[in-house]
Amino acid sequence: MSKVIISADSTCDLPKELIEKYDIKICHGPVILGDKAYTDGIDIQPHDLFKYHDETGVLPKTAAINYQDYVDFFTPLVEDENIIIHFCLSSEMSSMCNNAKMAAEDVENVYVIDSRNLSTGIALLVLWAAEMAQNGQDAESIYNKMIESTDKVNASFVIDTLLYLHKGGRCSAVAMLGANLLKLKPCIEVHDGKMDVAKKYRGKYSDVLIEYTKNRLENLENIDKSRCFVTHTMEYGSVPAKSVYDYIKSLNYFDEVIEATAGCTISAHCGPGTLGVLFLNK
């Protein structure tokens, strides 16, 4: 019997337990350390990237999932006339979405959604779509609802160190020096599928994270209460992340608050200590 299958790039950073709970299929992207290639979330984890950089001084790299990878991923899933709704990293950030769309032209019954987002900003849409599928809604309805809703995702991160952004060419040496001297912690927001610097915080990082969180959630009446992600590149259960998680839980607003460890893409570009609070606007 045919069914609607929800899938996503590994850049969605969904925790394993949610992937299993909603039976979401993940297409894992490549990660490059020096001259060796690995597969995100399979044989390499974010802490491996940080260890490699600490030992070599060389920035880890991520690469786009290519056309053939998507064809190979989609093909077995569409057996028995299944229909796939696949979520990609923003097309403004990577060629993966275009590659997936080209593959979908050669594999029947595949709908590709440009999430216009990254990390658990994608996951918010993926879980919503998975719930709709579990409730028996058809693929076209789910697809149309997701296309309409990409601009509802509120995604942002606070960066502890600018070193990774600087080495990746996303932060000038002058800006990095100035930020370090002033002990600034920039907040990166996603708008129109792109990352932009928003507010810059200053002070002890643990205090910055709570201030940032309060700023993000100051207008709860405009926020969808279904779920909120606390997504970070720290060790799971780390003190700064737990403080943010506990603060959000204390608001007693969201039906679900989820701690998620960011995958290799966010980690390679933003470095250790990054943390974001992500949710849907009404």
What CATH number is attached to the domain comprising 173?
3.30.1180.10
Return d(Cα 58, Cα 52) in angstroms, integer.
Answer: 7
Could you give the C-alpha distances from 72 to 28, 30, 106, 235, in angstroms and in order? 12, 15, 11, 33
Q: Given 104, 124, 151, which residue is the final one in a domain?
A: 151
Of 141-145, 216-220, 228-232, 264-268, the range with the lowest mean pLDDT is 264-268
Give a yes or no: residue 78 inside a domain.
Answer: yes
Q: Are residues 145 and 10 in the same domain?
A: yes
pTM of the model: 0.92
Q: Which domain holds residue 185?
A: 155-281
Does 68 score more than 50 pLDDT? yes
DSSP-assigned letters across all residues of 172-215: -HHHHHHHHHHTEEEEEEEETTEEEEEEEEES-HHHHHHHHHHH
Same domain flag for 214 and 245: yes
Q: Which of 116, 151, 186 is the last residue of a domain?
A: 151
Same domain, residue pair 135 and 164: no
pLDDT of residue 267: 84
Six-digit token string for 250:
């204390």
- 113 pLDDT more than 70: yes
20 within some domain: yes
**Counted domains in the chain:** 2
Q: Both 236 and 161 in a single domain?
A: yes
The larger pLDDT score, comparing residue 115 to residue 240, is at 115
Residue 137 and residue 234 in one domain: no
For residues 118 and 209, give the distance between their C-alpha atoms in angstroms, rounded to a whole number.
20
Cα–Cα dist 213/106, whole Å: 44
Alpha carbons 20 and 215: distance in angstroms, whole number? 33
Q: Is the pLDDT of residue 91 over 50?
A: yes
143 and 10 in a single domain? The answer is yes
The whole-angstrom separation of Cα 24 and Cα 140 is 18
Question: Tell me, what's the pLDDT at 183?
Answer: 65
What's the rounded mean pLDDT across residues 128-155? Answer: 96
Residue 1: the pLDDT is 61
pLDDT value of residue 34 = 84
Residue 171 lies in a domain: yes
144: amino acid identity, one letter: N
Question: For residue 50, what pLDDT is reported?
Answer: 83
Pairwise CA distance, residues 236 & 222, whole Å: 29
Q: Is residue 37 part of a domain?
A: no
Residue 49 lies in a domain: no
Residue 25: CATH number of its domain: 3.40.50.10440
Q: How far does CA 196 lie from the centroid of its chain?
A: 15
